[in-house]
Amino acid sequence: MISLTQISKSFGRHQVLSNIDLTVTKGEVVVILGPSGSGKTTLLRCVNYLEKPSGGEIAIGDFKVNCKHARKKEIHQLRQKTAMVFQQYNLFRHKTALENVMEGLLIVKKLPKDEARKRSIALLEKVGLGSKLDAYPSQLSGGQQQRVGIARALALEPEVILFDEPTSALDPELVGEVLAVIRKIAKEGITMIVVTHEMGFARDVANHVVFMDGGVIVEEGTPTELFNHPREERTKQFLKRIT
């Protein structure tokens, strides 16, 4: 359903991604693991063109973008099919939780205000924030802000949600509530690609685990294959360090 073919990315002379091929099936939860600096975030950002890949092709369903010759309209369409949940939440500070979720529905989906409001309330209830509709980000904990970020991503009804280390800015006691929400929506069959260092979460929730190092995919497989029977030395070393 989503395929990345030969995606590469350089920043100046520094090649950060080299010929990445990755296929994600509909409903799958893909977790990307790897040491810091291995290119995980850059890969995720390439999927929705927050970073422009230097080469390769991105396909979501029948929609394909050739990264060397992408037109503005195609990039816009690609972005409409994806939503990103950021490490630092990236909420509008001067808008309430409800307004943050409504924004995409009004601007991107062009829904009437009443409808946008109704849907946003339902989504905030889904992430456990029904009582915080009118709170501003500064009045919410990090975990609550991230749950608003997740509701905002869901509101766009994307084909895939991209999570960029969604819990790494949180105090440890707040990580669980955010992972619980991600788990819950994963069960609903929403396709996700998640960059995370949360190994327990990766084991439980992922259908497909990808290990990256040095800008390439070193190894990928089911959680059992990757965690219990890693084939590559680099994967073994990484798992030894973090567990």
Between CA 44 and CA 30 the distance in angstroms is 11
Phi, psi of 99 (to 5 degrees): -65, -35
Length in residues, the chain: 243
What is each CA distance from 187 to 63, 85, 95, 182, 203, in whole angstroms?
26, 18, 30, 9, 14
Under rule CB under 6 A, residue 147 binds ligand ADP: no
Q: Measured from the CB atom, is 41 or 191 closer to ligand ADP?
A: 41
Under rule CB under 6 A, residue 39 binds ligand ADP: yes
Q: Measured from the CB atom, is 39 or 53 closer to ligand ADP?
A: 39
Candidate residues 2, 33, 40, 132; the one interacting with ligand ADP per rule CB under 6 A: 40
Between CA 121 and CA 75 the distance in angstroms is 30
Q: How far is the CB of 224 from ligand ADP (least distance, A)?
A: 24
Candidate residues 20, 38, 132, 150; the one interacting with ligand ADP per rule CB under 6 A: 38
User: Could you give the string, one character per residue 41-60, with x where binding to ligand ADP holds by CB under 6 A and - elsewhere?
Assistant: xx------------------
Under rule CB under 6 A, residue 218 binds ligand ADP: no
For CA atoms 204, 233, 166, 208, the dihedral sign is negative
Tokens linked to 78: 């690609």
CA nearest 163: which of 176, 174, 179? Answer: 179
Judged by CB under 6 A, the chain residues 153 through 192 that form the site for ligand ADP are none
User: Could you give the string, one character per residue 15-34, with x where binding to ligand ADP holds by CB under 6 A and - elsewhere?
Assistant: -x-----------------x
* Residues at the contact surface with ligand ADP, assessed by CB under 6 A: 11, 16, 34, 36-42
